[in-house]
């Protein structure tokens, strides 16, 4: 219920999941008692599809989340997921560089490739883990910085 509450109140452009995912295509969230709750692919994709008309990107910074990301683009313009286990540090470096590039006005595609390049420099081999899916590849820009 927290996901829908946040989507309704905040009307986000980006939703970012950071945590755990499983090879069974579940996203691991917490229930009201703080226990793990495995949310199946269909559930999370449905939540993203009806959650916000403003939603442009879902970023699954969780292990084994590429299927969720790929399924989301039937409903939203772009999604990022991981194709296998990903370590905490490479995941953080990837996300930080991705959002930095987005903040400077780069497209999702360019920001994604910049983030992969950073991971390749810092954690060789780990850059093959993130996957990006877009309805119109290369055209989505989320931030247009003002010119001074």
CATH number of the domain bearing residue 91: 3.40.50.1460
The reply to whether 80 falls in a domain is yes
Region 20-42: what's the mean pLDDT?
94
Q: Which residues constitute the domain of residue 44?
A: 2-134
Kindly state the helix (H) or strand (E) to which residue 94 belongs, with its residue range. Answer: helix 88-103
**DSSP string computed for 5-46:** HHHHHH--SEEEEESEE-TTSEEEEE-TTS-EEEEEHHHHHH
The reply to whether 45 falls in a domain is yes
User: pLDDT at residue 1 above 80?
Assistant: no
Q: What does the pLDDT look like over 89-131, one tens digit per residue?
A: 999 999 999 999 999 999 999 999 999 999 999 999 999 999 9
User: pLDDT at residue 145 above 90?
Assistant: no
Residues in CB range of 53: below 8 A, 6 or more apart: 11
The reply to whether 148 falls in a domain is no
Strand order in the sheet with 130-134: 14-18, 57-61, 78-82, 130-134
Categorize the per-residue pLDDT at 148 as very low, low, confident or very high, splitting at 50, 70 and 90. Answer: low
Radius of gyration of the chain (CA): 15
Q: What does the pLDDT look like over 53-76, one tens digit per residue?
A: 899 999 999 999 999 999 999 999
Which has the closest alpha carbon to 130: 101, 93, 104, 76?
A: 93
Q: Which token pair is 79?
A: 């999604």
Give the predicted TM-score (pTM) of the model.
0.93
Chain position carrying tokens 């780990």:
126
């Amino acid at each position: 219920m927290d996901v829908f509450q946040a989507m309704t109140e905040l009307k986000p452009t980006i939703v970012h999941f950071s945590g755990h995912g499983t090879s069974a295509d579940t996203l691991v969230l917490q229930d009201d008692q703080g226990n793990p709750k495995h949310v199946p692919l269909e559930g999370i994709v449905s939540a993203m599809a009806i959650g916000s008309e403003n939603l442009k990107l879902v970023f699954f910074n969780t292990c084994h989340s590429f299927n969720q990301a790929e399924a989301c683009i039937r409903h939203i313009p772009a999604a990022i997921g991981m194709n296998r286990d990903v370590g905490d540090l490479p995941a953080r470096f990837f996300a930080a560089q991705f959002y930095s590039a987005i903040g400077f006005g780069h497209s999702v595609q360019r920001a994604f490739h910049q983030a992969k390049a950073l991971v390749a420099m810092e954690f060789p081999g780990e850059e093959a883990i993130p996957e990006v899916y877009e309805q119109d590849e290369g055209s989505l820009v989320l931030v247009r910085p003002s010119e001074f």
